């Protein structure tokens, strides 16, 4: 299996990040490093990350940038640039990971492909109970959760569904940015995320479009790479229409490379 960095995006929710890091520490296959991609959190997050450094079973790196609004594309590029691995698995810091999450992604990795997965949406009740009790026991506290079919772990179906599930028509560019994986060489070829994106939404679809335009195929990891999304209120969508327009421009122009991307952070 390739060397692997697990990149965890976060912003001012250390209670959720604690559960995420606890679930990372329970992985059956550990990543070679965990990179916290911090989009301007306050000191509480830095203190939490520091407290995990001596107990996490792998290297822990904290990449922080000043709070300049929602700049997810930028902090993900900085996280990629800090990585020393061949393969990137990208998640959000409000996820609890199934114990085989990293193992599933690494076994599923295929050259000239990127991977997207799905998630279980935990209810407000379940999420509150897990956070208050600092618990990973989702079954114990589960109440009114959604998309629970996504919690089933069927490795024998991974390859069968890779190019069949949510792959054509309106799902051609369907991805979940909270559960994606890429080869480093492919990310560098498209110059990472497009930092023209700010505010919530579509930066993950746009990078998928450019990857596919560059000949990198999408595969869907269904019934594997399982993650559980802690409930929170939706982010502001005031920039969504502008971001949709940039995504559509990538399709129309057959674009492959971000004009402002990861290359500004790389040292050769």
Instruction: Match 């492909």 to its residue by tokens.
Output: 113
| Residue 268 pLDDT exceeds 80 | no
Q: What pLDDT, in 10s, does the model give residues 18-32?
A: 999 999 999 999 999
Instruction: Match 């930066």 to its residue by tokens.
Output: 203
Structure tokens at 204: 């993950």
Structure tokens at 39: 């989009």
State the first-to-last Cα distance of the chain, in angstroms, to the nearest integer: 25
Can you give the residue range of the structural domain that contains 153? 4-265
Residue 26 CA to residue 141 CA, distance in Å, equals 19
Residue 60 CA to residue 241 CA, distance in Å, equals 36
Mean pLDDT over 176-194 rounds to 97
Residue 197 maps to which CATH number? Answer: 3.90.550.10
The answer to whether the CB of 185 falls within 8 A of the CB of 249 is no
Higher pLDDT, 62 or 236: 62
Q: What pLDDT, in 10s, does the model give residues 72-125?
A: 999 999 999 999 999 999 999 999 999 999 999 999 999 999 999 999 999 999
pLDDT of residue 235: 65
Structure tokens at 247: 């995504």
Residue 167 CA to residue 217 CA, distance in Å, equals 10
pLDDT of residue 203: 92
Q: Is the pTM of this model over 0.75?
A: yes
pLDDT of residue 236: 64
Please state the domain count of the chain: 1
Rounded (10°) angle between helices 240-252 and 203-213: 0
Nearest Cα to Cα of residue 104 among 185, 184, 31, 19? 31
Which residues, including other chains, have CB under 8 Å from residue 30's CB and lie 6 or more apart?
24, 57, 58, 102
pLDDT band at residue 15, thresholds of 50, 70 and 90? very high
Backbone angles phi, psi at 101, to 5 degrees: -55, -55
pLDDT of residue 240: 76
Tally of helices (H runs) and strands (E runs) in the chain: 10, 10
pLDDT of residue 243: 84
Mean pLDDT, the chain, rounded, equals: 94
Q: What pLDDT, in 10s, does the model give residues 201-234?
A: 789 999 999 999 999 999 999 999 999 999 988 7
**Given the DSSP bridges, would you call strands 217-220 and 87-92 parallel, antiparallel or unpaired?**
unpaired
Mean pLDDT over 124-141 rounds to 96
Residue 60 CA to residue 51 CA, distance in Å, equals 11
Instruction: Match 């999450």 to its residue by tokens.
Output: 101
Q: What percent of the chain has pLDDT over 70?
A: 98
């Amino acid at each position: 299996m390739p060397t692997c960095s697990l990149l965890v995006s976060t912003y001012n929710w250390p209670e959720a990040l604690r559960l995420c890091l606890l679930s990372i520490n329970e992985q059956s296959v550990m990543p070679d490093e965990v990179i916290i991609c911090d989009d301007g959190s306050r000191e509480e997050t830095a203190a939490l990350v520091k407290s995990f450094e001596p107990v996490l079973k792998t290297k822990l790196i904290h990449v922080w940038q000043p709070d300049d609004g929602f700049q997810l594309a930028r902090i993900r590029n900085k996280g990629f640039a800090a990585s020393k691995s061949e393969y990137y698995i990208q998640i959000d810091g409000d996820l609890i990971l199934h114990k085989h999450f990293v193992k599933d992604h690494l076994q599923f990795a295929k050259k000239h492909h990127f991977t997207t997965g799905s998630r279980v949406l935990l209810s407000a009740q379940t999420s509150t109970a897990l956070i208050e009790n600092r618990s990973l026991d989702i079954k114990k506290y589960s109440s009114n959760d959604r998309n629970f079919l996504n919690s089933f772990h069927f490795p024998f179906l991974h390859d069968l569904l890779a190019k069949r599930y949510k792959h054509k028509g309106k799902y051609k560019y369907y991805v979940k940015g909270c559960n994606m994986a890429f080869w480093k060489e492919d990310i560098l070829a498209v110059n990472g995320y497009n930092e023209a994106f700010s505010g919530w939404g579509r930066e993950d679809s746009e990078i998928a479009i450019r990857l596919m335009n560059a000949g990198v195929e999408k595969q869907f990891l269904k019934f594997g790479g399982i993650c559980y999304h802690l409930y929170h209120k939706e982010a502001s969508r005031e920039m969504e229409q502008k971001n949709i327009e940039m995504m559509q421009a990538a399709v129309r122009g057959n674009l492959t490379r971000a004009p402002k991307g990861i290359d500004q952070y790389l040292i050769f």
